[in-house]
A and B are shown apart, each in its own frame.
Chain A
């Protein structure tokens, strides 16, 4: 069963901590994405990557960074967590090339920053 796995379902961190959210996919997908989801705002793209060691800023990259050292793993880093980063974080992956290729999502990480 192909999967996108996010390392934590629930996470509670303190303000100012450095936070790592891990995402691993086993489908050999080229593309990986990090979104945050907030009520009434839908899914907002933070960062994405189309290849190893490649990264592109999405719509709301401030306060975040990413790392993609291996094709299957895409990490989201909150350099210094703040309360306004309390949110649901979703990782997704997809194949390149055709508009018919959909996303496969992880199960999400609900992050609370206190």
Chain B
């Protein structure tokens, strides 16, 4: 079974609108971390936001927030007030506490912001 599932290969959003990128995960480990990375066309992976499995509040970093629904095993990324520079690939990833140091990545969502 896939550890991380991103079901949206491509998304479009109007500039200044909000957009939600979906991510579901699969783990039996009670301790895990969830991450979102942005990859612009230049290729570099940029860390956006982190959510721990024991965190009570949803993580926020500027215009990024993570909608964490533990019972549903979902960790959706919300980008508010989209900007043209947000056009990029977005990857959801998980690191499990007990199995060590490896990350599991989704297949990514390509976001295009339309002026």
Taking a contact as CB atoms under 8 Å apart, the answer to whether B50 and A102 are in contact is yes
Task: Indicate whether A99 sits within 8 Å of B95 (C-beta atoms), given known contacts A90-B45, A107-B42, A108-B44.
Answer: yes
Task: Indicate whether A99 sits within 8 Å of B105 (C-beta atoms), given known contacts A105-B45, A107-B42.
Answer: no
| Mask of B37-58 contacts with A, CB within 8 angstroms, 1/0 | 1000011110100101100000
A65 to B96, CA, bound (A): 26
A45 to B37, CA, bound (A): 16
Q: Which residues of A contact B50 (CB under 8 A)?
A: 100, 102
A20 within 8 Å of B (CB atoms): no
Taking a contact as CB atoms under 8 Å apart, the answer to whether B43 and A108 are in contact is yes
Taking a contact as CB atoms under 8 Å apart, the answer to whether B102 and A102 are in contact is no
Taking a contact as CB atoms under 8 Å apart, the answer to whether A99 and B31 are in contact is yes
Size of chain B's interface in residues, with CB distance under 8 A?
Answer: 27
Partner of A100, one of B33, B42, B102, B105: B33
Taking a contact as CB atoms under 8 Å apart, the answer to whether A43 and B91 are in contact is yes
A83 to B101, CA, bound (A): 31
Size of chain A's interface in residues, with CB distance under 8 A?
Answer: 28
Q: Which residues of A contact B107 (CB under 8 A)?
A: 40-42
Taking a contact as CB atoms under 8 Å apart, the answer to whether A42 and B9 are in contact is no
**Centre residue among B35, B45, B93 by max chain A CB count within 10 A:** B45
Q: Which residues of B contact A45 (CB under 8 A)?
A: 102
| Mask of B1-13 contacts with A, CB within 8 angstroms, 1/0 | 0000000010000
| A contact set with B: CB distance below 8 Å | 9, 30-31, 33, 40-43, 45, 48, 50, 88, 90, 92, 94, 96, 98-108, 110
List 5 additional A-B contacts (Cβ < 8 Å) besides A99-B32, A103-B103.
A43-B105, A48-B102, A99-B52, A103-B93, A105-B37
28 CB < 8 A contacts A-B: A30-B101, A33-B103, A40-B107, A41-B107, A42-B106, A43-B91, A45-B102, A48-B101, A90-B43, A92-B45, A94-B103, A96-B101, A98-B33, A99-B31, A99-B53, A99-B95, A99-B97, A100-B33, A101-B33, A101-B95, A102-B50, A103-B35, A103-B45, A103-B47, A104-B47, A106-B44, A107-B43, A108-B44
